[in-house]
């Protein structure tokens, strides 16, 4: 019997305003893709995020140490602002497997945070990322690589808004029949250390679940609750938005 574990990644959720703007762009791209005969699977707006580090399959016994490593990486990180702008395809518009929106951060805090996370989790045995860090938000995926230049390029120069960032999030990714589902295992504030009294069970309790599939009613704008800096209600099940 295989040892219990979870498929994890570290990320930052974009603001509600940015998610709404990206959802509008995705609707435009979806129409252009249909007209061009290009099949793209669109990510639900509630699932838009910037990945800082993909950890992959992680044993249950290691998750506590991962949280400690992330808290150490987050400690002392200044609050910063992400700007989401421009559309593109990866690895290129001529042979794309992903449609993305770009992320800009002028202070260098985002790059520095990603580097600290990389170093800290490498000490736990996670494989180091060999590719350069290129922050982005994935808004669509293709089952097989296709040219998307005619779909994306004419509408690529757009600005989708800012996200004020004061925390990172450890997510679990599960594959279900409806698509990938992201659950928030832990939100880690930049300047708030974890209480030493918190139990291992509490640390691993999912607080937020994000449905990564695109359903017909999910292309609409999402809610505007502002309980957190990014606009998402803390501890809320996003399928209810």
| Residue 28 Cα distances to 13, 49, 163, angstroms | 22, 20, 22
pTM of the model: 0.79
SS3 label, residue 217 = helix
Burial degree of 6 (CB within 10 A; 0-12, 13-18, 19+) = buried
β-bridge pairing 80-91 and 159-165: antiparallel
Question: Measured between alpha carbons, how far is 116 from 107 in angstroms, rounded to an integer?
Answer: 16
- Residue 224 to residues 27, 136, 231: CA-CA distances in angstroms? 19, 22, 6
CATH superfamily of 5-240: Cyclic phosphodiesterase (3.90.1140.10)
pLDDT, one tens digit per residue, over 188-236 is 999 744 444 333 333 322 333 333 333 333 333 444 333 344 444 444 3
Q: Rounded CA gap, 21 and 41, in Å?
A: 18
The Cα–Cα gap between 125 and 205 comes to 24
pLDDT at position 197 is 35
Q: How far is CA 36 from CA 32, 109, 140, 156, in A?
A: 6, 39, 15, 16
- pLDDT, mean over the chain: 82
pLDDT digit string, tens, across residues 161-195: 999 999 999 999 988 766 678 889 999 999 744 44
126: DSSP letter: P
pLDDT in tens, 107-116: 999 999 999 9
pLDDT at residue number 176: 74
DSSP strands (E only) in 29-166? 41-42, 49-59, 80-91, 96-104, 136-146, 159-165
* 60-to-3, 42, 172, 176, 201 alpha-carbon distances in Å: 8, 31, 12, 20, 11
């Amino acid at each position: 019997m295989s040892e219990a574990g979870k498929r994890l990644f570290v990320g930052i959720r974009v603001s509600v305003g940015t998610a709404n703007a990206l959802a509008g762009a995705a609707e435009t791209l979806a129409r252009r893709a249909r007209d061009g005969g290009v099949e793209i699977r669109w990510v639900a707006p509630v699932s838009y995020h910037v990945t800082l580090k993909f950890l992959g399959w992680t044993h249950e016994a290691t998750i506590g140490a991962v949280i400690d490593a992330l808290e150490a990486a987050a400690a002392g990180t200044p609050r910063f602002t992400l700007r989401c702008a421009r559309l593109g395809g990866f690895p290129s518009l001529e042979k794309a497997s992903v449609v993305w929106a770009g992320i800009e951060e002028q202070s260098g805090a985002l790059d520095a945070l990603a580097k600290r996370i990389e170093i800290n989790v490498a000490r736990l045995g996670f494989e180091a990322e060999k590719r350069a860090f290129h922050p982005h938000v994935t808004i669509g995926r293709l089952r097989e690589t296709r040219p998307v230049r005619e779909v994306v390029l004419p509408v690529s120069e757009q600005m989708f808004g800012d996200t004020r960032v004061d925390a990172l999030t450890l997510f679990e990714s599960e594959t279900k029949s409806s698509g990938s589902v992201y659950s928030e295992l832990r939100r880690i504030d930049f300047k708030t250390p974890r209480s030493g009294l918190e139990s291992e069970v509490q640390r691993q309790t999912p607080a937020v679940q994000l449905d990564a599939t695109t359903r017909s009613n999910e292309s609409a704008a999402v809610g505007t609750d502002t309980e957190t800096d990014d606009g998402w209600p803390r501890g809320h099940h996003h399928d209810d938005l």
